[in-house]
Structure 1
Amino acid sequence: MANIKVFCDFDGTITEKDNIISIMKKFAPPEWAGLKDKVLSQEMSIQEGVGRMFSLLPSTLKEDIIEFILENGRIRAGFQEFVDYLKEENIPLYIVSGGIDFFVKPVLEKYGPFEAVFCNASDFSGEKINILWPYSCDDECKNNCGCCKPSIMRKLETEDAFKIVIGDSVTDLEAAKQADLVIGRDLLLDKSKEMNLNYRAFETFYDCIAVLKNINGVRV
């Protein structure tokens, strides 16, 4: 069996919608939209953009935001079955998220445990929400990713590892470039096609299970 490692995004991948966008639409003043557009067009780094977006929000909103996400953050179909399948096959699942700990971990709690969950952290001690970056870029990445997915992959990969990245957006792009296989949707799928990466498309995690079953035991 191939030594498969799965690195899966959270916002817009495990959840049907991007939770940061949902939070900003619900709670932020209008200037958040310009910051989001600059991040998506890669004019602004993810770290700067996400940090500035959350700095628009008062720290007093913490519990309101958590409640909002738990009520509205719909999980993509088949995720629990996907987690169970990987456990059965002894394939490690790493959650690598550009999201923030205070809403990522409550949403994931009932689906784990996972091999590890990597995401950005938060500080509510000031007047505004301050985002912390415990997984920032290593010396090989200069993109100011925030939660740097390729840096995390480099720390965890072994020479014989077959690395699968599952994601949907610009935050997954650098990780996808060093994956052996990308399972993508939305913007990540389009970029994978453009860059001629080895990719498969997905809409639900049942699709991801089907892809894994096809490659498990076969070096592709």
Structure 2
Amino acid sequence: MSKERIIFCDFDGTITVNDNIVAIMKHFNPAGWEAIVERILDKSISIRQGVGEMFALLPTSRKDEIVAYAIGNAVIRDGFGEFVNYCKEQNIKLLITSGGIDFFIYPLLKPFPIPHENIYSNASSFEGSVIEILWPNKCDEHCQTDCGMCKTSIIRSYDANRYERIIIGDSITDFEGAKLVDTIFARSHLVDMCEQLGYAYYPFDNFFDIMKQLEAEPVA
């Protein structure tokens, strides 16, 4: 019997053209955010710690402004709507696995028929004086990367003997997951990482590219 296809698709920089967290920080420009990014990149702090520290620089009094900017600034990558429909027609399970934040992910995905339970992201609280990021999908015992939203634990929950596991992504948060799957669709930083370690991948500019390749590849 052939395996069922399941896709783990990143959001920021993948479904959207831009990275929404970086866009928010650049626009509101709270003092110290760039230094936090440098510490994430040089791995002196984890992604989870860094993202939490960056959003803690933003006051909740600006909530409406921040949410409106995040939603209004984002651009959905070409072909995503058609891709969601394609997955539905082909009985491919599509999961959104994102290190982004709920307050912009859910509104931006609302126009598409993706079940709420198929969207995994970080959460947020505006109850205090600054934005607090919450982590409902932390690393399991097999992962120590502390990226906040553990894509590998979600991938591992789908048996490799039953599922043909496919990842679509663009960055460092997708790399650990890319090590576990059968097929990688990559752009941007994820391409560089795959090249460095000799991982096979398919490059893409839009979701039409991905659909074309999925059509060409027989189900495992």
Fold equivalence (TM over 0.5)? yes
SS of the residue corresponding to residue 111 of structure 1 reads coil
Partner in structure 1 of residue 49 of structure 2: 48
Out of 152, 159, 162, the residue aligned to residue 160 of structure 1 is 162
Q: Distance in 1 between matches of 2:172 and 2:180?
A: 14
Partner in structure 1 of residue 180 of structure 2: 178
| CA-to-aligned-CA distance 1:64-111 (integer Å, 9 cap, x gap) | 122112211000001001111111100000000000111110111101
Q: Give the aligned residue type for 2:103.
A: F
SS of the residue corresponding to residue 121 of structure 1 reads strand
Q: Distance in 2 between matches of 1:153 and 1:210?
A: 23
After superposing the two structures, state which structure 1 stretch, 22-31 or 86-95, moved more. 22-31
Structure 1 171/184 Cα, relative in aligned 2: closer, same or farther at 3 Å? same
Report the alpha carbon displacement of residue 216 of structure 1 after superposing the two structures with TM. 3.8
Residue 92 in 1 paired to residue 112 in 2? Answer: no
| CA-to-aligned-CA distance 1:167-212 (integer Å, 9 cap, x gap) | 0011111111111111000000110111122211011111111121
Q: Distance in 1 between matches of 2:104 and 2:4?
A: 31
Aligned pairs for 1:41-190 (under 5 A) are 41-114=42-115, 116-190=118-192
After superposing the two structures, state which structure 1 stretch, 113-122 or 204-213, moved more. 113-122
Q: Distance in 2 between matches of 1:42 and 1:211?
A: 34
SS of the residue corresponding to residue 95 of structure 1 reads strand
| Structure 2: gaps of 5 or more residues | none
SS of the residue corresponding to residue 5 of structure 2 reads strand
State whether residues 95 and 117 of structure 1, in contact with CA within 8 Å, keep that contact through their aligned partners in structure 2: yes
Report the alpha carbon displacement of residue 42 of structure 1 after superposing the two structures with TM. 3.0
Q: Give the aligned residue type for 1:211.
A: Q
Q: Distance in 2 between matches of 1:103 and 1:208?
A: 24
SS of the residue corresponding to residue 91 of structure 2 reads coil
Partner in structure 2 of residue 25 of structure 1: 26
After superposing the two structures, state which structure 1 stretch, 121-130 or 35-44, moved more. 35-44
Aligned length: 218
How much identity, in percent, do the aligned residues show?
A: 44
Structure 1: which 4+ aligned runs deviate by more than 4 Å?
Answer: none
Q: Give the aligned residue type for 1:8.
A: C
State whether residues 31 and 57 of structure 2, in contact with CA within 8 Å, keep that contact through their aligned partners in structure 1: no
After superposing the two structures, state which structure 1 stretch, 208-217 or 137-146, moved more. 208-217
Partner in structure 2 of residue 38 of structure 1: 39
**Root-mean-square deviation (Å):** 1.3
Q: TM-score, normalised by structure 1?
A: 0.95
Residue 205 in 1 paired to residue 174 in 2? Answer: no
Q: Distance in 2 between matches of 1:191 and 1:30?
A: 31
Q: Distance in 1 between matches of 2:60 and 2:154?
A: 29
State whether residues 182 and 192 of structure 1, in contact with CA within 8 Å, keep that contact through their aligned partners in structure 2: no
| Structure 1: gaps of 5 or more residues | none
Q: Distance in 1 between matches of 2:113 and 2:159?
A: 21
After superposing the two structures, state which structure 1 stretch, 151-160 or 12-21, moved more. 151-160
